[in-house]
Structure 1
């Protein structure tokens, strides 16, 4: 029980500090000016408040469904169905964040974009398919920001560029990587179902209790 409570406390702490941590990471990669940094922090605070009010109750509903599944056997199809719900909720967050990204993209200087390139190069991992997709996304982002920087007043173009970038980020244009990613999802769903179905009744009760605690965390955070 102590470990469970500790886990709940960690979730709440991480969630409440998320805007500050994200702002720090963005600043680390881009070297924001004071004015940019203040605006980014405000935008992230607004995004978190929207997420708290709108998405946390939806996350809690998914966890209620997970609890029912964990109490019994689960198929790979059920696991993937739950995953699809989570992806849909993620897409909602991306859509809400899009206008905030539009503003930041239009404000970056050439120097900041070059710093982003350097930071990305420093952080690249040494693994292949995921690594190649990471490189594609990084290059894609820099090219989008450079295009925006050349015509900052063209808000319609900026909106289109950022929206298309987010679509490519969410679903890679590389068929080989899409196949690889889908294989990981399919195998993950099957593996999760197989592992769960091998658990004892006592272990399932514990898993349900754990999911319930996270549901309660989300509802508590949503009410703050």
Structure 2
């Protein structure tokens, strides 16, 4: 996830976001809340409205009028999310605690993935209306600013996933996967690291294909925003259509490729979990309990 919060200004700064918050600002709140350490999760979530604004501003370089409206819409969104979504996240975490204490199948893991994805999709749809109001007010300079920011994002992706030898690229992915796993299970054994490495080496995930899809989505976003500039009354259906193309790529073969990657990832997660010791599973349960308490505390902070 790209979480660059470079705070740029044009004039006095401030402004309108678009669909990018659907894919990214949601992750700032959802993943940071679920996957960070306890007190860090609370801090991250409480700071997420400001971080979301900074992230959007780094992409669009808002003016004062846009800034005021964006900040208000972000606050409204997070008030709803705290009230409605965090209790649902806490419920998922309770369910995962029971699952973490036993072996898992890949199908069970994918079912949970689908549940989370469906919740994020519904949450993203809630953002359509505020962006439909804001998108027509973006000017051509702001779209050029967005295009430059997209180019930098592509350079970052290339650096992280496309440069170096196949072995170097695999090692970077392994380091990331081990780091994420150890947040829950504690230190992995050499055998477990080897297991993760083998699954990553066999993964159908293709960085070059992913980069091409990222660039398609970026071009789609710019085309959608330019259409809205020309036809402001079409803002809402245009954004809804763009969200649909994010969820179901029109690129021939890409959806099947993506689905295969998800299935492989589910099987990889189940294989690693089923290799864990009783002590590692107990640690995972304790971590999930801590996250559940965080969600309850955050939800109560109105």
Tell me the TM-score range normalised by the shorter chain: over 0.9
Name the SS for the 1:39 alignment partner: helix
Contact 2:133 2:235 in 1 (8 A): no
Distance in structure 2 (CA, Å) of the matches to 1:174 and 1:67:
38
How many residue pairs match? The answer is 216
Regions of 4+ moved over 2 Å: none
Contact kept? 2:100, 2:281, Cα under 8 Å: yes
Q: Give unpaired runs (5+ residues) of structure 1.
A: 1-5
Q: Deviations over 1:23-48 (max 9, x none)?
A: 11111111100111111111111101
Partner of 2:14: none
| Secondary structure class of the residue paired with 2:249 | coil
Q: How far apart, in 2, do the equivalents of 1:175 and 1:64 lie? A: 39
1:33 paired to 2:110: no
Structure 1 position 146 matched with structure 2 position 176:
no
1:92-117 per-residue CA deviation (whole Å, 9 max, x = no partner) reads: 21111111111221210111111111
Distance 1:33 1:52 in 2: 28
Match for residue 291 of structure 2? 214
Residue of structure 2 equivalent to 1:136: 216
The whole-number CA distance in structure 1 between the counterparts of 2:214 and 2:282 is 39
Q: Counterparts in 2 of 1:67-86, with a 5 A limit?
A: 67-86=97-116
Kept after mapping to 1: 8 A contact 2:42/2:294:
yes
2:59–2:145 Cα contact (<8 Å) kept:
yes
Q: TM-score, normalised by structure 2?
A: 0.69
TM-score (norm 1): 0.93
CA distance in 1, matches of 2:273, 2:283: 12
In structure 2, the partner of 1:3 is: none
The answer to whether the aligner puts 1:163 opposite 2:277 as a matched pair is: no
Q: 2:140: which partner in 1?
A: 110
In 1, distance between residues paired with 2:106 and 2:153? 34
Taking the aligned partners of 1:7 and 1:38, their CA distance within structure 2 comes to 32
Could you say which residue in structure 1 is the equivalent of 2:85? 55
Of 252, 257, 260, the match for 1:180:
257
